[in-house]
Structure 1
Amino acid sequence: MAFRKLAGKLALAAGLITSLGMSSAHALDKITVAYFLEWPTANQAAQMDKTYDEALGLEVEWRAFGNGNEMVQAMVSGDVQIAYSNGFVPFVVGVSSGAPIKLVGVAVTYAENDLCIVRNDAGITQANAKELEGKKVATPIGNVTHYKLIRTLQHLGVDINKVKLVQMNPADAAVAVVRGDVVMGCAFGGALGRMKTVGKPLMTGAEQEAVGINTFDVVNVTDSFAADHPDLIRKFLEVTNQANTAYIADPEAVYGKIAKAAGMDLEPAKEMIGNFGFPSNEEQMSESWLGGGIQAAAKGVAEVMVSAGGLDEALDDYSPFIDASYLK
């Protein structure tokens, strides 16, 4: 399973970092932040304006990744200090496997922007979803999209072990769906629009939320960066909060910057970000989020992944890897 390979890589890399003592408190002149293209978020206006650079007093390099597992691996290797809008599942799988990272905030909430699209000519709906058994389904393995797929199929009575999952990042999944290489593709971001030209969602985001399948991305940092530069994390989250507030107050003023940073045309970016929610720092510290809700959700996600064979073992407690102090 891809999960076990990931777990092995993360555990080995974490051990190397620990043994080599790579944590250092020296002054920085640059940090690298992981993000996704075709994933427009309110903070990207600040990214374009270099507000982060000014507030943190250093160069902030924004590096695009294809999925959350790649982000976690880059953090474990020391190439990335902050992962913005990383998937919750890659975080849970990462810390379960020994990755030296922690969750310090919620980046975005969403539902309609992370879906599984069935080709129209497949004739598969929620009513006969068991017909997916034995067929190929494209999905990025080990992230929120994969987790939602598992939960969705469980809800519809489909045996996930009988579905032929094919590891594909969103862009590749969209190509496979359009060409007919797979009967269904699960993805996030701009790839969904391309898949919808030949198919429809197996379940909409609203339908998923109604049965308890919630979707959100998080802000992760490495343990060493948190220990050595807590002030930079606080400033990063403060700038993000200010950008979120500005977007909510006047979205038209920043749509253009956000679309450019996301690598999207204006109208698709506006449509997608309209389905996003950006909780304030105060909201994130509440019991629904970092005040207890996320800790419980992490345990639940881990147990689902274990039951699906994607994770060997869940941790007893995920609270040591979740820290709301940087939001204050």
Structure 2
Amino acid sequence: MNKSFLKAVSFAGVVTFTSFYSTAQAEQTIAVGTFGDPTPMQWAAHVHKFSAATGWNVKWRRFGSGSDVISAMASGDLKISELGSVPAAIALSQGVNIEVFAVDYVIGKSESLIARNGTGIKTLADLKGKRIAVPFGSTSDFSLRGALKHTGIKTSQVTLLNMSPNQIVAAWKQGYIDAAYIWPPAQTEILKTGHRLVGSNQVAAWGYPTFNAWVVNKRFAETHKKQMIAFIKEINKVNSTYIDNPSSWTVSSPVVQAVAAQTGDTPKQVLESIPGYTFLTAQQQLTPEWMGGGIAKALKSTAMLLKKEGLISAVSDNYAKFINTEYLRDSIK
């Protein structure tokens, strides 16, 4: 056979394989976890900005609780996800191979303790003897325990019930629970027949701060640095659209419409919920208050309280080793 022909065939095969490999890499499917909160990130997710920025085929998986996220990440099924500070502290204390690479948002009134109308609950002191629902191991659980401790109520003086957001709504409508500490959209639903006792912004002021972080499998991040930086850049961009001009977010604006379509909320619900979150710029995140030291301290203090409450068995001596600012720093160069 003609050697020139063989070389041509061989070369064509290499080109074909290389093209196939490049396409396969570009279309790598990556599952990213979210809780479906009505935040700017949901707009970017809806219009596929993360896929365009990273080259991944990003598939968003919605979770009802942090414990479900931990299980998915521990199994290797999930590589990147939003995760509350409390389940993050639990996962890191248990040795799950993840690291915090950015702050998602600081939790304010987006998580609140709601009392059902007609239960006689007017203040936190009235909670004694009442049935309170909350997803155990969540940021709302931590805030609830902090609020009770601040008020001087022991957990043995109330009935704490471990319920998912959907279960809380169902139990609320049946009159089975008197109060619940929860986030939207469940919070939005139960507020129709209830009233807010306290939000997590106030509980944070009492010494029990909570936030949502972005976490990633450490090994995955190390082998996908370029995409990790692109991912954070996109988060910074979309958060800035709200930080820089929140008044532009209206019921009829395309951004709010997209967030509503992605989360299943109405545009009105999006606008009612979003002030309950505080978003940080990349520069703010890198300060000592947050990724520069504050996050590690908060995770450790959270873990210490969880251990005292019997929710975890051990606390790491150093949570700073679980914080990686490399991708965040590179995203603003």
Could you state the TM-score of these two structures normalised by the residue count of structure 1? 0.86
- In the alignment, what sits opposite 2:52? 54
- In the alignment, what sits opposite 2:155? 160
Matched AA of 1:207: Q
The partner residue of 1:230 within 222, 225, 228 is: 225
Q: Distance in 2 between matches of 1:57 and 1:206?
A: 37
Q: Distance in 1 between matches of 2:303 and 2:164?
A: 22
- In the alignment, what sits opposite 1:118? 115
Q: Distance in 2 between matches of 1:163 and 1:308?
A: 15
Alignment deviations for residues 215-240 of structure 1 (CA, whole Å, 9 cap, x no partner)? 31110101221122122111111111
What is the Cα-based RMSD across aligned positions, in Å? 1.7
- In the alignment, what sits opposite 1:221? 216
- In the alignment, what sits opposite 1:75? 73
Matched AA of 1:41: T
Alignment deviations for residues 79-137 of structure 1 (CA, whole Å, 9 cap, x no partner)? 111102x11111100010111111111011221110121222221233633523xx422
Alignment deviations for residues 251-300 of structure 1 (CA, whole Å, 9 cap, x no partner)? 34411111111111110111111322210111111111000111111111
Gaps of at least 5 residues in structure 1 are: 1-25
- In the alignment, what sits opposite 2:268? 267
Partner of 2:128, secondary structure, is: helix
- Contact conserved, 2:127 with 2:158, CA < 8 A, in 1? no
- Contact conserved, 2:66 with 2:87, CA < 8 A, in 1? yes
Matched AA of 1:77: S
The partner residue of 1:186 within 181, 185, 188 is: 181
The partner residue of 1:101 within 98, 110, 113 is: 98
The partner residue of 2:137 within 130, 133, 142 is: 142
- In the alignment, what sits opposite 1:245? 240
| Deviation of the 1:58 alpha carbon | 1.9
Q: Distance in 2 between matches of 1:308 and 1:124?
A: 25
- In the alignment, what sits opposite 1:65? 63
- Contact conserved, 2:257 with 2:267, CA < 8 A, in 1? yes
Q: Distance in 1 between matches of 2:201 and 2:313?
A: 31
Matched AA of 2:139: V
Could you state the TM-score of these two structures normalised by the residue count of structure 2? 0.85
Q: Distance in 1 between matches of 2:205 and 2:101?
A: 27
Of the structure 1 ranges 108-117 and 293-302, higher mean CA displacement relative to structure 2 is found in 108-117
Matched AA of 2:318: D
Report % sequence identity: 28
- Contact conserved, 1:169 with 1:187, CA < 8 A, in 2? no
